[in-house]
Amino acid sequence: MSDPVVSPEVDLSKPAAEGMVRVTFLPEGRTVEFAFDTLPYKGHGQPMSFLDVAENYGIFLDHACGGVCACTTCHLHVKQGAEGISEPEELELDRMDTAAGIELNSRLGCQAVIEKPGTYVVEIPKWNRNYVQEGKPAHGPGS
Ligand code: FES
């Protein structure tokens, strides 16, 4: 894997500062950081969901239904920070029943909302990565 790409202001040698949210998206290894509750809502998924964060930073996270909990293409695994994320609602749990490769840390990226400052690491599962490699437009930084 290539070196991680971070927002210019992210210093990975130090923990996230107080009041900040740091999110790393694997396997791409991109890390972004911003003050909690300051992210402009991009209209995809719940405000402050992982999909919302990804959209703000031009990170590709598939969302075939537009972030309304009607597909499972935004499925991701929460590797760190689960305690700071909203509990899944009934609709998300029902939707997840139809997803492939469910694990204990599986969530829908459009529904899992970051509720407090801290450090979060999420991984986009292999089949979504393959999907990206097979020609879906992977947005670059700032695009
Ligand atoms: S984008 Fe469709 S369920 Fe999240």
Q: What percent of the chain has pLDDT over 70?
A: 82
What's the gap in Å between 85 CA and the centre of ligand 1?
17
Q: What is d(CA 95, CA 72) in angstroms, rounded to the nearest whole number?
A: 7
| pLDDT value of position 138 | 46
| pLDDT value of position 68 | 96
Q: What is d(CA 124, CA 132) in angstroms, rounded to the nearest whole number?
A: 11
Please give all residues whose beta carbon lies within 6 A of any atom in ligand 1, as ranges.
Answer: 63-65, 67, 69-74, 95, 108-110
66 pLDDT above the threshold of 70: yes
Average pLDDT, the chain: 87
pLDDT band per the 50, 70, 90 thresholds, residue 8: low
127 pLDDT above the threshold of 80: no
What's the gap in Å between 72 CA and the centre of ligand 1?
5
What's the gap in Å between 51 CA and the centre of ligand 1?
9
| Closest approach atom of ligand 1 to CA 72 | 3
pLDDT band per the 50, 70, 90 thresholds, residue 139: very low
Q: What is d(CA 2, CA 26) in angstroms, rounded to the nearest whole number?
A: 11
45, 64 in Cβ contact below 8 A?
Answer: no
| Closest approach atom of ligand 1 to CA 65 | 2
CATH code, residues 20-133 = 3.10.20.30
82 pLDDT above the threshold of 60: yes
The mean pLDDT of 61-74, rounded to a whole number, is 95
48 pLDDT above the threshold of 90: yes
Pocket-testing residue among 46, 49, 68, ligand 1, by greatest number of atoms within 8 A of Cβ: 68
52, 39 in Cβ contact below 8 A?
Answer: yes
User: Strand locations in 27-87, DSSP E?
Assistant: 30-35, 75-80
What's the gap in Å between 101 CA and the centre of ligand 1?
16
141 pLDDT above the threshold of 70: no
- Delimit the domains of the chain by residue range: 20-133
